Structure 1
Amino acid sequence: MAKQDFNDLLWFLTVAKERSFTKAAAKLGIGQSTLSHTIKRLEDQMGIRLLTRTTRSVGLTEAGERLRLSMAPRIAEIEAEIADLMAFRDKPSGRIRMTVSEHALQSVVWPKLQPILKDYPDIKLELSLDNGFRNIVEDGFDAGVRLGESVEKDMVAVRIGPDWRLVAVGSPGYFAEHGVPEHPHDLVRHNCINLRLERAGGLYAWEFAKDGQELRVRVDGQLTFNTSYAQADAALKGYGIAYVPENVVQRHIMSGDLALVLDKWSPVFDGYHIYYPSRRQNSPAFKVIVDALRHRGE
């Protein structure tokens, strides 16, 4: 393929990621008709159909999916190498994209990064909220934040926060009306506030552990959210029992607005880690971010 067609491949990857000509064109800053014509030209030059188009959506053919899987990691590597070249500048600079859960962002990432970002105005940081698992290489992220136990073995992982646990809480009024669960299995008879982790397979099955015994309980209830903060707020307002990170509700427990139940069944999780491919280690800007986030045991 002629060298001048490299941009066509980049535009194809954008369409493949967005699954929409309209969104891809807006992201690229070009007209939709120009983008459509370019992709058609690319398909004609390759002699294969890459996309399937309907009035509402854009999908990938088998050939298109193979091309995407082949190209996306290589483009990410090129972008990473370009970012590494910024080491020759006087100050750490460049764009860093991270995927992070809302709880990790609020409890660890943002509190630690706020004090240092003003000292490095040339570092551009993009934080994408996602409570599920992401393939950071395929999706174009420089790093992600996960619990230590969930990090892939081929990634570099650096601890950025202490261990923490999930706790079951409800309002005193709710427990006065519905009773207090004595065992995790009792939760099936309660109105529980669910958490949906769409990228991790649907509703989260509540995990408990005590004296070496581990249980997973699939609960039911009126409400389902995809964020622990909304779960906690609903529990505070008497809508049922929520199972959320302890630091999200600690002040409400201390004030008596929420009551903690099944305390001895609440497991401790290996704290948050930032994880990334080893090729990202040489970027000065990236080193600034990792060093600021690093857990120092305080």
Structure 2
Amino acid sequence: MSLRSDPFNGLSAFLAAAAAGSFTAAAARLGVSPAAVSQAVKSLEEKLGTTLFIRTTRRVGLTEAGATLLARTAPAAAEIIAAVEDVASVREPSGLLRLTVPRMAVALVIEPVVPAMRRAYPRVAVEVAVEDATVDLSARGFDAGIRIGEYVERDMVAVRLSRDITWAVVASPEYLAARGRPEAPLDLAGHEAIRYRFPNSGALYRWEFERDGRNFSVEPPGSLVVNDGALLVSWARAGLGLAYVADIAVEAELRAGQVVRVLERYLPTTPGLFLYFPRRAQTQPKLRAFIDLARQILRMGR
């Protein structure tokens, strides 16, 4: 079969390079040399008569044609992989389970569940990408993701992993001793806030409150900005300002007295952490094994 008559020739290399943003990383994932990936992509580009990647010394990025091809082929490729894995893993879970998780889920979910997963199912390899930005699972080659419930797309299957979140404004005792306690959200104008910037949109998060059934938001002043939840908590613990965080992300710090909650009567409660994935993926043994272990270890009901 010629290259032109085989529509799948080079697609594996293309999809891996697109997901990894690097021929070297794609080669490691596929178990081949970087040169083999580069040659496969080059052959695909010659077959299609167009350039799929913009190559630099550090990274490869998709051209418009490459982005179009990825959008059309990634979901189909995920479906094919899922079908093959279903047939190959009927009796025992196996294969690579790729997860995208936010920083707060590392200690709450990943650290307790993945070691148990490896002990119970040694044929399942696990890759975890820690990132707070929202992710297209199919385009990036992930089997599932973990996010706060309100950020999970409605067409996804969602499995609860944590209790609901009550949001919290926290600061160190030292900060509050020096600057005083805000008694209402409007008092934040006289304080220093540690601000969070959304990784995808680049927008600064406006702190959300509620009172007497009314929701409102405040944009507090602050000279520190971060897009990482762990660093946000660390800076609050160090006394650099007030931070707006999920209560489940600062449970240890609250118990130890390293940070203190303020403005409690104004803070809303929202859905907690959920594992989410496309409906077609829910029959994969490796994913079902992860879900069952997570429910058992985290004691979340069905």
Same fold per superposition (TM over 0.5): yes
Structure 2 residues without counterparts, runs of 5 or longer:
none
Alignment partners' CA distance in 2, 1:108 and 1:18: 24
Deviation at 1:106, TM superposition (A): 1.2
1:139 is aligned with what amino acid? R
Q: Sort the Cα spacing of 1:200 and 1:118 in 2 relative to 1 into closer, same or farther, 3 A.
A: farther
What is the DSSP-based 3-state SS (H/G/I as helix, E as strand, rest coil) of the residue aligned with 1:247?
Answer: helix
- Tell me the equivalent position of 2:285: 284
Alignment partners' CA distance in 2, 1:215 and 1:67: 42
- Tell me the equivalent position of 2:192: 191
The one of 39, 42, 65 equivalent to 1:40 is: 42
Cα deviation, 1:205-261, whole Å, max 9, x if unaligned, reads 222222212122233423333333322222222111112222333344344432211
Alignment partners' CA distance in 2, 1:110 and 1:56: 32
- Tell me the equivalent position of 2:89: 87
Q: Which segment is superposed worse, 170-179 or 74-83?
A: 170-179
2:62 is aligned with what amino acid? L
Q: Which segment is superposed worse, 52-61 or 125-134?
A: 52-61
Q: Sort the Cα spacing of 1:221 and 1:146 in 2 relative to 1 into closer, same or farther, 3 A.
A: same
Alignment partners' CA distance in 1, 2:221 and 2:193: 6
Cα deviation, 1:36-93, whole Å, max 9, x if unaligned, reads 444333222222233334566543333222112111111111111121113333x322
What is the DSSP-based 3-state SS (H/G/I as helix, E as strand, rest coil) of the residue aligned with 1:95?
Answer: strand
Alignment partners' CA distance in 1, 2:226 and 2:197: 6
Name the TM-score, length of structure 1 as normaliser. Answer: 0.87
Alignment partners' CA distance in 2, 1:112 and 1:34: 36
Name the TM-score, length of structure 2 as normaliser. Answer: 0.86
How do 1:102-141 and structure 2 match up within 5 A? Answer: 102-141=103-142
Alignment partners' CA distance in 1, 2:95 and 2:37: 28
1:273 is aligned with what amino acid? F
Pair 1:148 & 2:173 matched: no
Conserved 8 A contact 1:162-1:297:
no
How do 1:257-296 and structure 2 match up within 5 A? Answer: 257-294=258-295, 296=300
Deviation at 1:272, TM superposition (A): 1.3
Which of structure 1's runs of 4+ aligned residues deviate more than 6 A? none
Q: Which segment is superposed worse, 38-47 or 94-103?
A: 38-47
Give me the identity figure in percent.
39
Deviation at 1:125, TM superposition (A): 2.0
Alignment partners' CA distance in 2, 1:146 and 1:39: 33
2:67 is aligned with what amino acid? E
Q: Sort the Cα spacing of 1:200 and 1:85 in 2 relative to 1 into closer, same or farther, 3 A.
A: farther
Conserved 8 A contact 1:170-1:260:
yes
What is the DSSP-based 3-state SS (H/G/I as helix, E as strand, rest coil) of the residue aligned with 1:6?
Answer: coil
- Tell me the equivalent position of 1:210: 211
Number of paired residues?
297
The one of 55, 60, 63 equivalent to 1:61 is: 63
Alignment partners' CA distance in 1, 2:69 and 2:117: 40
Aligned-residue RMSD, C-alpha: 2.7
